[in-house]
Chains A and B, each alone.
Chain A
Amino acid sequence: MTQPSKKTRRTLLVAVALVAVVLVAVGAILLTTVQRPAEKIKIEWWDQWGEARLLWAEEMKAAFERQYPEVEIVIVEFASDEDFKTKFETAIAAGQPPAVFRTLGGGVLKSYVDGGHVEDLTSLLNEEWAVRQIPRSMLRQSTWGGKHYAVPFDLWVGHFYINRELFQRAGVEIPPITKTWTWEEFKEAIRKFRAAGIIPIAVGGKDKWELSFYYMYIVDRLAGSDAFRKTINRAPGYSFTDEHWVRAGYLFKELVDLGAFQEGFIGASYDEAQSLFFTGKAAMWLQGPWILGDLYASFPDFPIDIVNFPTVPGGRGDPTMLLGAVQHHYAIAKNIPENVKRYAYEFMKMITKESSMIRYAEFSKSPLAQNVKVPTEQYPPVLTKVIESSSRASWLQMAYDEYSPPKFAAVHLDSLAAVAVGTMTPEQMAEAQEAVARELAQQGVLPLEEV
């Protein structure tokens, strides 16, 4: 036998490459078309869990899989809300939505509903047990055209969380939760904290939504609870350039200029603000009850308490109103195979059972959005106070950036940060908000509901 020539060898090489290409192609086709042996039905369950709620989810998963061994619940965890939104929207665009997913309701959910991606849960939520257990008022954020699209789980409300010890040190009296500071008293407290070398308020301005809390509270105190809903939904006679929108910007700026917030707050993350408050450098932090899980995990003896947001001079708003909303809802995707959807319904029923809800409250330490009695010893005292306060509230104002379409939310948050820094005036902010609201109305995105 003679040695193969160079040419033969090259031909051989090329032939091998060709065969490889064909093999890969055939393999890829086989992989996508051929039915693989009976596999478990997978139900993906997406949420930005956090440690405590993840434990609850795992308990639910185990219970469901015990009852239905042919199903596997796949819990998918996201690090941040942004991460969740991005992946979720990409999954929808790719036609592969998760069967069961978390939503905060509002404009974001509405855009998914309008796109035809969310299952109509009206019949499920009108079943007898559901009517008894889930107050209809809690469905407001997930109902359009008389149809319900999500099951509400828990609530959040915004208070100033305070460090009692620092209040004592600065000689600031803590107002009872049934009373509200006036704007002057509030500013006086801020001055006292500053004089005592304590940061009055910690705020994470990098993510911008924390800044928005202040603006939203001030607007409500000034113009009442109708103002935002009417203006964003383009009710005749309402405009973002109305006087109170501008004034709210100035009152917010007044706090900034007074030094109410820590140095460099505009670049600080949520974690940095949290560190200032938890380590006793800042006296107050305007937040929701979700901070309590982390707080008790690291500082079980923290002298925590809550205080209401102050009233403003000449404001028409009802001071018992709170910033807050139904927070976590779960919804089912519309465009999934029928057999998966059937189990998704079963799963939804199981996690909404009364006993599951009590476990949810125990893990998450958050107030429930359903008529389920949670044994009070499961809650820390300050949370009981939060729940009582929210039951007295005349109105819960959903966060603007969750209620409104994403584009409006982006403009609102960006301009507010610019007002805080001073690169934009409150008038310019008002105009920017009005301009984008008009544009969205022209495109038919607004109004979100009839007002």
Chain B
Amino acid sequence: MKRFRESNNTKNTFFTPQTLRRFLDSNSGLILSLPALIFALLFVFYPLVQMFYLSLFRWTFVSPNMTFLGLENFRRMFLEDQVYLRSLLNVALLAGQSSAIQIPIGIALATIILRYRRIGRLFWAIIFLPYVISSVAVSLVWTWMYNPYFGSVNMFLRTVGLGFLARPWLGDINTALIAIFGTVNWIYIGLTTTMTLATLRSIPPSIFESARIDGLSGFQEFRKITLPLLKELIVVLIIIDVAGAFKFFDLIWVMTQGGPSDSTHVTTTWLYRTAFRASEPGYGAAIGVTVFLFSFVIVQLLVKLVRSKLTR
């Protein structure tokens, strides 16, 4: 057997089991990731390139003609399109308020849940529930809750004597965005709490025990030990909030469609509205390009920040 192989080898040096084997060995990484890579190229990379290309044109989906505009779509977006600028502001507000409200509350709730373990487990299940429900269903339910005639929000305010606060939440240009933020926080606080819980549970209890032996009070323990240990998590949560704000769509689309009077648009809802409602996919793609670039740059910066902070 061995002899046969060797003799074969001398005749044909190009394709032998050995060369095949060497090829497979040296390229194993590439080959093993090939299936995933093909899908990524097909469904992520190709559409991305297509989007960049489309953003330079004026086109309607059904027309055979595409008009090349150069960077006109981008000029119009930043210099003329008030709604687009407003939507950028709304994304910033959404990311900012999510980080500022969900993270502290999430950490506080997680700390409480850990302290009162028995009730905490049930409590945790309850506040995590909204995150598991389909967001369209949640949005519809909240739309009815905010309804000024049938809604439970105003009814509740009136019963507890805060009737002066009752208003058409989603039908008022001053409160629609706040109402949406309320729903967003209701959904995502459960997630923040869960992630904090997981992190806190992975900290060895001996650290807390020794802190107590050293005579730290509850608050001191939280400030000096828990919080520093959660630093990494907090940055991750902020990244999730920022990236999430750029991707946010369904809840706003169902609850207000960006209204009243375009005051609650985020970049994605405005993209959808221009591309599909006003039939300007070129302009929609241009918005998509800016969303891609903004979120890419911001998340990269955040990641850099984390790395430099954490390695120090």
Give A residues with C-beta under 8 Å from B: 7, 10-11, 13-15, 17-18, 20-21, 24, 82, 85-86, 89-90, 92-93, 111-112, 114-117, 205-208, 262-269, 272, 275-276, 281, 405-407, 409-411, 414, 417-418, 420-421, 423-424, 443
Contact = CB atoms under 8 A, between A and B. Distances in A.
Given A264-B148, A406-B278, A14 B261 contact: no
B149 interface: yes
Given A14-B25, A89-B62, A116-B64, A272 B147 contact: yes
A208 B274 CA distance: 15
A423 B24 contact: no
Given A409-B278, A410-B273, A414-B261, 19 more contacts: A13-B28, A14-B24, A14-B27, A92-B62, A93-B62, A112-B62, A206-B259, A262-B149, A264-B167, A264-B169, A264-B170, A264-B171, A266-B259, A267-B172, A267-B259, A272-B143, A407-B279, A423-B173, A424-B261
A24 B260 contact: no
6 contacts: A17-B35, A115-B63, A208-B259, A266-B260, A267-B176, A418-B261
Contacts of B62: 89, 92-93, 111-112, 114-115, 117
A30 B98 CA distance: 49
Q: Which 7 A-B pairs have the closest CB atoms?
A: A264-B168, A264-B171, A267-B171, A267-B170, A410-B278, A89-B61, A115-B62
A407 B226 CA distance: 55
A18 B143 CA distance: 52
B219 interface: no
A115 B61 CA distance: 9
Interface string B255-275: 011011111000000000110
B150 interface: yes
Interface string B27-54: 1100110110010000000000000000
B21 interface: yes
Contacts of B273: 410
A115 B60 CA distance: 9
A330 to B, nearest CB: 18
Contacts of B148: 262-264
A111 B63 contact: yes
A14 B61 contact: no
B277 A11 contact: no
A205 B32 contact: no
Nearest to B262: A414
Contact of B277 (A21, A264, A410, A423): A410
A82 B261 contact: no
Interface in B85-114: none
Contacts of B143: 269, 272
A10 B25 contact: yes
Nearest to A113: B62
A11 B21 contact: yes
A405 B60 CA distance: 11
B31 A264 contact: no
A7 B25 contact: yes
A17 B172 contact: no
A82 B259 contact: no
Given A17-B34, A267-B176, A268-B171, A406 B277 contact: yes
Contacts of B274: 410
Given A89-B279, A421-B260, A265 B64 contact: no
A263 B147 CA distance: 9
A417 B260 contact: yes
Given A111-B62, A263-B171, A267-B170, A275 B150 contact: yes
A203 B174 CA distance: 20
Interface string B276-295: 11111000000000000000
A263 B24 contact: no
Contact of B257 (A90, A114, A206): A206
Contact of A421 (B24, B256, B261, B276): B261
A91 to B, nearest CB: 10
Contacts of B167: 263-264
Contacts of A13: 28, 32
Interface in B58-73: 58, 60-64, 67
Contacts of B38: 21
A185 B27 CA distance: 84
B32 A90 contact: no
Contacts of B58: 443
Nearest to A417: B261
A14 B21 CA distance: 9
B35 A14 contact: no
Contacts of B277: 82, 406, 410
Given A263-B148, A267-B260, A421-B261, A406 B25 contact: no
A423 B261 contact: yes
Given A18-B31, A264-B170, A281 B257 contact: no
A21 B34 contact: yes
A17 B24 CA distance: 10
B50 to A, nearest CB: 12
Contacts of A18: 24, 31
A426 B237 CA distance: 45
B24 A276 contact: no
Interface in B132-171: 143-144, 147-150, 167-171
Nearest to B144: A272
Nearest to A89: B61
B61 A17 contact: no
Nearest to B64: A115
B39 to A, nearest CB: 10
A146 B302 CA distance: 62
A1 to B, nearest CB: 13
A14 B24 CA distance: 6
Name, among B27, B274, B278, the residue most crowded by chain A CB atoms within 10 Å (CB to CB). B278
A268 to B, nearest CB: 6
A438 B148 CA distance: 40
Nearest to B147: A272
A425 B148 CA distance: 26
B147 to A, nearest CB: 6
A417 B143 CA distance: 19
A346 B62 CA distance: 26
A252 B276 CA distance: 28
